[in-house]
Amino acid sequence: MNEKKCICGSSDVRVVACSGASNVGQIANQAAIELAKEKVASFFCLAGVGGHIPGMVKAAQEAGLMIAIDGCPVQCAAKTLQYAEIEPAIQIVVTELGIEKSPELVHDEKACAKVVEKVKEELAA
């Protein structure tokens, strides 16, 4: 039987994001997509880590640098990594950037850009 391979997260710098049921979850997710499009980091599958898929957990553990973008203070993305014994080198919480959480499932482009810039600042530090 052939083992299926995930093509996500091929870069040494990887990003996972909350995709929660709120605007800030959607902003976190979209920011990760933008970082991947800009080739700042590879978008890595947080669901695979949370699902305890051995190859994905191992790949996440072997990342040179892991970034977690969480929508709110619950910090689901970072906690999912930590449960798998992966400590994110950089963690961004969208609400800590002055973006208010709402139940709307939309992402504001300006808010998303703010998150992307914060990640880039943290990487440069």
- Could you tell me if residue 88 is inside a domain? yes
- Could you tell me if residue 1 is inside a domain? no
- Could you tell me if residue 24 is inside a domain? yes
For residue range 81-90, list pLDDT tens digits in order: 999 999 999 9
- Could you tell me if residue 2 is inside a domain? no
- Could you tell me if residue 3 is inside a domain? no
Domain containing 44 equals 13-124
- Could you tell me if residue 43 is inside a domain? yes
Tokens of 113: 């850009």
- Could you tell me if residue 75 is inside a domain? yes
pLDDT of amino acid 2:
46
Name the β-bridge partners of 93.
70
Phi-psi sector, 30: left (phi>0), alpha (psi -120 to 50), beta: alpha
Confidence of residue 107 (pLDDT cuts 50, 70, 90): confident
- Could you tell me if residue 6 is inside a domain? no
Say whether pTM exceeds 0.75: yes
Domain count within the chain: 1
For residue range 27-86, list pLDDT tens digits in order: 999 999 999 999 999 999 999 999 999 999 999 999 999 999 999 999 999 999 999 999
Sign of CA dihedral 45, 60, 26, 102: positive
